[in-house]
Structure formats: structure tokens, C-alpha cells
């Protein structure tokens, strides 16, 4: 069957066949918090990059279907070289990851040969392979503090997460790469002003990928897993959530009665939304699209990823 055939199937049949194929192939479906809600609902696990990386490192499934963007599927493959890893849409890339290449990082490193390279998980396998350690938005502070205070850091590729990490650790010897997530970097103080006018009783929780001026006026700064936990632990506290709208959909789906509001209805990652139920079913039934990472790159990247997992 081709994609067009799957697109014409009703949702009930899609879900039924996904469940059948998952069982038949001993597959696990992982979905990031920014996925469409119908995709999140058929997943075995949903979470942020760190949570899903940990799950991928421990799974005994023969097949991993990663509903996310390419760097996430690559990470799953790197830590599971013997397993089949599928991504339902091969075009689901991450513009943030494209800000850095291995060649550019190595060239920059020549100017700071004694600095360690700390790379955000939102990066290519090639960039991870030339890094000392990987981090996520949930553990960037802990990862940087893994190094002695006098050790210089090159933080790749998100400048806003770097700003947050630099401020939280109090370290001035961190050099920030000039990259950003277009979804978070477009969140402005005007968005904050409007959201607080609409919901004056709500706390403002922002992702550390938002610009510094937005971080400065937030009540809390947290990764998507941290945002989720806050709402779950404070179900009666209204919250404005400054991240991609998929997380708000997950919260409303799982935490009944939660009062959460997106800082902007336009905070949508079009790359994440490329994954759909028809594509998930096609991935399972047609074995597409298999993620391949060259052994030499995977081996080096695995070291950086496992170093992160060992301290998280």
C-alpha cells in the first residue's frame, strides 16, 4: 500500500491496525510532547527528549517507531544499534539542529581547544559525534556542572538554552552558539502581556528555549516534562504555558480539569506535525522509514549520549 491508501482509512481502522501491527512486530511507539494529540494517544510512551531517550535505552522491543523529529530517531538508533528504528516521515527535521554542523563545531573548537563541547540533544548525529557530552533542556544545568568550574564550555546549538544554563550555573566561561528554535524564539513580551491580560490569575511557565527577556519575566522556567509535572502537582493553579501547543493538548488530555493556556496559538512546530496516524501505520506495515546512522559516527555519538544518561 502507498501513503494515499493509508490516508483514506478512517481513524478507527488506523488505530486498530496500528495496535495489531505493534503487537505483531513487537514494536514500541514513542511520541514527543509536541506530536499531534491523536498520535500521542496511540503511543506506548510520551514525553520530552530526555524521558524518551531513557525509555529507548531500556526497551526490549524489536522495533522502535519514533514519533518526533529526525534527531530524536537518530538518538534512539545510536543507543539501540541492533534494533530497527523507524520514523514515520523522513522529512521531519529540526531547523534548530541545522544551525550546527560537525565541521563548523570542530573549526570553532580550534579557537578554544581547552573548552568542552556540550551539545543540546536537538542536533545531528554528526555533531553529537564531535561533542564531549549531550544535554537536554531538562538537564543542561546538571550536565554543565559535571565539569569543573574553571573548565570552559562551548554550548551548541541553542543560544537561549545556553543563556538559561549560563545564568543558572553562574558560569561566565560558557560560549553560546548562535542557534534557536523558531517556535520558541518567536515568543515575545507582547505575547506575555496579552496572555497575562487574558489570564491574570495564571502563573507563567516558559521553556528555556524562549528569548532571555521572556525568561526574565517568567514565574517558572522548565522543560516540557517539568511543565507537565508542575501542572500535575498543582492542578488547581491556572498556568500560561510558553512552549509548543502539543504539550498543552497532552496536559488537557491526561490531567482532567487542568487550567492551562498557550501563550500563543501560533506556537506550532510544523515539523513535529508531519507525523500522522496514516504515516505511523504505514511505518509499521511497510517498514518505513528506517533510520540509519553510520557506525563510526554512532560509536562516537553514543559515548556523548551515554555520558549524559549516566549523570541524569
Is the previous residue joined to 289 through a cis bond, with omega within 30 degrees of 0?
Answer: yes
- Any idea which fold 3-92+272-293 has? Rossmann fold (3.40.50)
CA angle 239, 240, 245 (to 5 degrees): 115
CA angle 202, 206, 212 (to 5 degrees): 125
Per-residue pLDDT at 59: 96
Return d(Cα 294, Cα 205) in angstroms, integer: 39
Return d(Cα 56, Cα 63) in angstroms, integer: 10
- Beta carbons within 10 angstroms of residue 215's beta carbon: 18
The CATH label, of 3.40.50.10800, 3.30.1490.190, 3.40.50.360, 3.30.750.24, for the domain at 187-262 is 3.40.50.10800
Q: Number of C-alpha atoms within 13 angstroms, CB side, residue 80?
A: 28
- Any idea which fold 97-181+298-311 has? Rossmann fold (3.40.50)
Cα 303 to its chain centre, rounded Å, is: 20
Strand partners, 76: none
Return d(Cα 243, Cα 229) in angstroms, integer: 15
Residue 153 near residue 118, CB atoms below 8 Å: yes
Q: What is the pLDDT of residues 200-250, one digit of tens each?
A: 999 999 999 999 999 999 999 999 999 999 999 999 999 999 999 999 999
Averaged over 300-312, what is the pLDDT? 96
Reading the block at residue 164, the C-alpha cell is 538559561
Average pLDDT, the chain: 98
Question: How many residues in total does the chain contain?
Answer: 312
Per-residue pLDDT at 312: 83
- Is the dihedral angle over the CA atoms 152, 157, 163, 169 positive or is it negative? negative
Closest CA to 291 of 30, 88, 33: 88
Provide the 8-state DSSP code for 272.
G
Q: What is the pLDDT of residues 107-151, one digit of tens each?
A: 999 999 999 999 999 999 999 999 999 999 999 999 999 999 999
Residue 275 has pLDDT above 90, yes or no: yes
Question: What string of DSSP letters covers 65-119?
Answer: EEES-HHHHHHHHHH-TTSEEE-S-TT---TTGGG--HHHHHHHHTTSTTSEEEE
Q: Do domains 3-92+272-293 and 187-262 have the same CATH topology?
A: yes
Helix spans in 170-243 (H): 182-185, 189-198, 212-216, 224-233
What lies within 8 Å, CB to CB, of 106 at 6+ separation is 130
Per domain, the residue ranges of the chain are 3-92+272-293, 97-181+298-311, 187-262
Reading the block at residue 294, the C-alpha cell is 553510520
Amino acid at each position: 500500500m502507498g501513503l494515499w491508501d493509508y490516508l483514506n482509512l478512517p481513524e478507527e481502522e488506523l488505530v486498530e491496525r496500528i495496535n495489531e501491527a505493534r503487537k505483531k512486530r513487537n514494536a514500541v511507539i514513542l511520541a514527543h510532547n509536541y506530536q499531534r494529540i491523536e498520535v500521542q494517544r496511540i503511543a506506548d510512551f510520551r514525553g520530552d527528549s530526555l524521558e524518551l531517550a531513557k525509555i529507548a535505552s531500556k526497551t526490549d522491543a524489536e522495533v522502535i517507531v519514533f514519533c518526533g523529529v529526525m534527531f530524536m530517531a537518530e538518538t534512539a538508533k545510536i543507543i539501540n544499534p541492533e534494533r530497527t528504528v523507524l520514523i514515520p516521515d523522513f522529512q521531519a527535521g529540526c531547523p534548530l539542529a541545522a544551525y550546527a554542523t560537525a565541521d563548523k563545531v570542530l573549526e570553532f573548537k580550534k579557537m578554544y581547544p581547552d573548552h568542552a563541547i556540550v551539545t543540546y540533544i536537538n542536533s545531528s548525529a554528526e555533531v553529537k559525534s564531535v561533542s564531549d557530552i549531550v544535554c537536554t533542556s531538562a538537564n543542561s544545568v546538571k550536565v554543565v556542572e559535571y565539569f569543573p568550574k574553571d573548565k570552559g564550555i562551548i554550548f551548541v546549538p541553542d543560544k537561549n538554552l545556553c543563556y538559561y544554563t549560563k545564568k543558572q550555573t553562574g558560569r561566565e566561561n560558557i560560549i553560546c552558539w548562535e542557534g534557536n528554535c523558531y517556535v520558541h524564539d518567536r515568543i515575545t513580551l507582547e505575547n506575555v502581556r496579552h496572555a497575562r491580560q487574558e489570564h491574570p490569575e495564571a502563573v507563567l511557565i516558559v521553556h528555556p528555549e524562549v528569548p532571555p527577556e521572556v525568561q526574565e519575566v517568567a514565574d517558572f522556567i522548565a522543560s516540557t516534562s517539568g511543565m507537565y509535572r508542575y501542572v500535575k502537582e498543582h492542578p488547581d493553579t491556572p498556568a500560561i504555558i510558553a512552549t509548543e501547543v502539543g504539550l498543552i493538548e497532552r496536559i488537557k488530555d491526561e490531567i482532567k480539569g487542568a487550567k492551562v493556556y498557550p501563550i500563543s496559538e501560533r506556537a506550532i512546530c510544523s515539523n513535529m506535525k508531519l507525523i500522522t496516524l496514516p504515516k505511523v501505520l504505514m511505518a509499521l506495515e511497510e517498514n518505513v522509514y528506517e533510520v540509519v546512522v553510520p557506525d563510526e559516527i554512532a560509536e562516537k555519538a553514543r559515548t556523548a549520549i551515554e555520558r549524559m544518561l549516566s549523570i541524569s
